Every structure is written in structure tokens, then in C-alpha cells.
Amino acid sequence: MTLSELVDEFIIYISTIKGFSENTIIGYRNDLKKFQEYLTPTIDIEKITKENIHLCIGQLSSEHKSIASENRFISSVRSLFSYARSFSYLAHNPALDIKTIKRAKQTPKFLTQEEMNTLCKEPQVNELLWEKRDRAIFTMLYSSGCRISEMCSLKLSDFMDNYHSAIVTGKGNKQRKVFFEEESRKALALYLEDRKKVLLANGIQTPTENLFINQKGHALSVGGMRYIISRYSGTEGTKKHVNPHAFRHTFATTLISNGADVRYVQEMLGHSSISTTQRYTHVTTERLIDIYNKAHPHSR
């Protein structure tokens, strides 16, 4: 079996049998495409050695890829050969002892309450694209802690309790319940009225079930939502570029800083491991000072 044949079969396997998300599949496909470029698509998989894989990783380093990119590449290659070994395409696994690169743990980047409020109001203050839709996106991301891929996939039929909550599908097709506070529900109601007008203006008789659409009436893509966030947080907007995950980080940090049990936050974020959620147990310096001033008998 050639490397190209193995990769094609593996991608079908994770897409159908394993049911991985579209973003995860794209990541695997890109990494394994690069792996084939470093070697050759027609090489027999039995001829691939541990040294070959190390040379590919070295090639990534020479291209100045980030440690995160290198580790994702290593993980993709290991998964590929683990699949080949489990189906007896190989007598041994050349990637078995390939280790990922250790890196310092990073504290999730989050916004202060003032910064988040400013960003959520930015579509009203500075209408760059579609005010009502964009404000709904921002407030709902912050209210729910959803990933943007989950928000893009959210359908009208996923909502319950008069838009107080919804069922989202996260990584590994795991479903969980998320919640929306009053401000985000008000923003959503205004957007839904505008959504009807846009669909009517575009003559769309059978609209998409996806909640968020573009101005042509089609489902908004992850790339489209990233673009919206970058416009409002860029030089035309708040002038403080925000990564889409900052909404999720700020959601978690806000809950934990206000006393929420980390296990409940884990459930709301859809983390499979409590250790992932515990990254958010940090608090800001201002919060620490406030606690100290209130609790210490000699504090001013």
C-alpha cells in the first residue's frame, strides 16, 4: 500500500466511522498532505522509517513552524500509522516512539469586563458589516462559551426554552447544553427580524436552518465569522485584535472568578478533562488585590 492510498483511506475512516468534526478532518488532511510532500505519495508504507518521520519534523522546524503546528503534525502522523497498524497494514509502527515537543503552558488570553462590553457594543457604535447579526454573534459567544465552529453550526431547531438555551455539537460530536442571558437574547430577537428581511430580499424560499447567515442569505462559515470578529477588533474597530477563542476564555474566566465551581464550567465548555478547565482558575491581579484588601486585617 502506498502512502497516498493509506492517507485517503484514513481520511474516510475518521470522517465516517469516527465522525470527527470538519475542522479536525481539515487539520489531518493538511498535515498528511505535507507529510506526503516531504516523502512522496507513492512510497510504500512499509519502507517508511522512524528516521524518515524525524526528517519530516526537522523540515517543519526549518520552515519556522510553531511548536503547536509541529505537535499537530506529529499527532496526525502517529494517528495515521496507528490506524495502519491496527488494520495489519504494517508489521510494526514506525511512529510509535515519536514524541511531541514540550512547551510551556500558556495562560488563556481573556478580556476584561470593560473590554468585552466595548467589543460587544462595537457593531452598534461602528457598523462595519451587519449590525444586528454581529452584535448577536458577539453577545451569544460570550454568554454561552461556544467555540465559533459550534456557533456557526447552531440551527434554529437547536434552541429551547424560548431561546434561553440550546444544544450544541462540539468536538467528537459530543452534545451539550449552553445558555443565553437576557442581553444576548434581546440581540438575537433583533437579528432574527433582520434575518427574515434578508432572506426575503434575496428571494430565498427554502432558507438554511443555520442560525447565522451572510448577507446573501447563505449559512455563515467559520471563516466568515472569524472575518467579522477581526474587522470589529481591528484598526477599524476597537484596535485591539481579538482571537475568536477570547470570547470562550473570557466566559470561563468570568464564571470562575465569580465563584462558579470548575466542574460546572467544565460541563458548560464541553471539556473532556478537568485539567483543561483548570487553566481558567487564574484570576487577575486586580481581583487578587481586592480579595486581599477585604480579607487581611492589616490591609488598607
Give me the active site residues, please.
147, 171, 245, 248, 271, 280
Grid coordinates of 121 = 457594543
DSSP calls for 226-251: HHHHHHHHSTTTTSS---THHHHHHH
DSSP 3-state of 179: strand
Q: Look-up: residue for cell 492510498? A: 5
How many whole angstroms separate alpha carbon 123 and alpha carbon 129? 8
**Cα pseudo-dihedral 141, 144, 150, 153, rounded to 10:** -80
Residue 105 Cα to chain centre, angstroms: 18
Residue 98 Cα to chain centre, angstroms: 26
Enumerate residues 6+ apart whose C-beta is below 8 A from 27. 72, 76
Q: Look-up: residue for cell 480579607? A: 295
Among candidates 106, 109, 84, 105, which has minimal Cα distance to 96?
A: 84
Phi, psi of 168 (to 5 degrees): -115, 155
99: which DSSP letter? P
Beta bridge mates, 167: 177
How many whole angstroms separate alpha carbon 166 and alpha carbon 168? 6
